[in-house]
């Protein structure tokens, strides 16, 4: 039957998850009110930062200008600051995605007409976005935001390949997209 090591691993995972659950319960006691009204009242969108500023972050124009000044100290400072701002932007966007998901879960947990297939599809969509943010975060940290434009394409292709795999999984599991919705 279930192997000795499988049983042992299951028991250890259970104890760890219970620990995580107790900690999450304790930390969410005070912030539980954030789950509802406060988020909805704010009504903020994904574009918390204007597109012009964001495109400036990833643009190579400023970097070229600073390089032209031929001051290594200034260039280092510029790179450090830009990287820090770009990383903060990715974190904020990732937090926004989490907030969207959190609101969805808050709404769906109360609905008796919840559909497992739709929940699974939304979760996969969410997981891919979080993965995308994670890859962006690592790439920005390693290469800096200016050199990201080219490498981001690799990240996109990587996500696309995962997406193709997931679409195959969804089709196999009967989790088809509803009409008009885009497959991420």
Partner 1 sequence: MLGQTIWWSCIALETFLLVRGFAGRLWARYPVFYAYISFVWLQSLLRFSIFHLRPQQYKPVYWITEGLGVLAGCAVVFEIYRVGLAAYPGTARMARNLLGFVSVLALTKALVDTWNDPQWWLIATTMDLERLLRTVQSFAILALVVLFLFYAIPFGRNLRGILLGYGVFVGLSVIQLTFVTDSSSRFHNFWSYASPGSYFIVLGVWMVHLWSYVPNPEPKTAVRLEEQYQRVAAATAQRLREARGYLAKAVRS
Give the shortest CB-152-to-partner 1 separation in angstroms: 4
Q: Which of 47, 62, 81, 168 binds partner 1 (CB under 8 A)?
A: 47
Closest CA to 48 of 96, 2, 97, 115: 96
Q: Does 175 bind partner 1 (CB under 8 A)?
A: no
Q: Does 148 bind partner 1 (CB under 8 A)?
A: yes
Q: Which of 63, 85, 103, 144 binds partner 1 (CB under 8 A)?
A: 103
CB-based burial, 133-151: b 16+ in 10 Å, e otherwise: bebbeebbeeebbbebeee
Distances (CA, A) of 154 to 8, 58, 104, 131, 133: 40, 16, 30, 14, 14
Q: Does 109 bind partner 1 (CB under 8 A)?
A: yes
Residue among 78 and 125 whose Cβ is closer to partner 1: 125
**What is the 3-class SS of 77-97, one letter each residue?**
HHHHHHHHHHHHHHHHHHHHH
Q: Which of 63, 92, 126, 137 binds partner 1 (CB under 8 A)?
A: 126
Q: Does 112 bind partner 1 (CB under 8 A)?
A: yes
Q: Does 137 bind partner 1 (CB under 8 A)?
A: no
């Amino acid at each position: 039957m279930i192997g000795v090591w499988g049983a042992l691993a299951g028991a250890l995972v259970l104890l760890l998850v219970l620990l995580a659950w107790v900690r999450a319960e304790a930390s969410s006691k005070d912030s539980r009110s954030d789950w509802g009204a406060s988020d909805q009242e704010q009504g903020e969108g994904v574009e918390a930062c204007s597109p012009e500023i964001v495109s400036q972050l990833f643009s190579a124009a400023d970097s070229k200008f600073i390089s032209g000044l031929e001051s290594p100290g200034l260039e280092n400072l510029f790179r450090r600051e830009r990287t820090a701002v770009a990383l903060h932007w990715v974190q904020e966007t990732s937090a926004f995605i989490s907030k969207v998901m959190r609101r969805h879960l808050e709404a769906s947990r109360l609905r008796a007409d919840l559909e497992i297939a739709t929940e699974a599809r939304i979760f996969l969509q969410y997981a891919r976005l979080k993965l995308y943010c994670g890859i962006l975060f690592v790439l920005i940290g390693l290469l800096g935001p200016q050199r990201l434009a080219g490498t981001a394409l690799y990240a996109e292709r990587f996500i696309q390949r995962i997406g193709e795999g997931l679409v195959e999984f969804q089709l196999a599991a009967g989790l088809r997209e509803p009409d008009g919705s885009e497959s991420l």
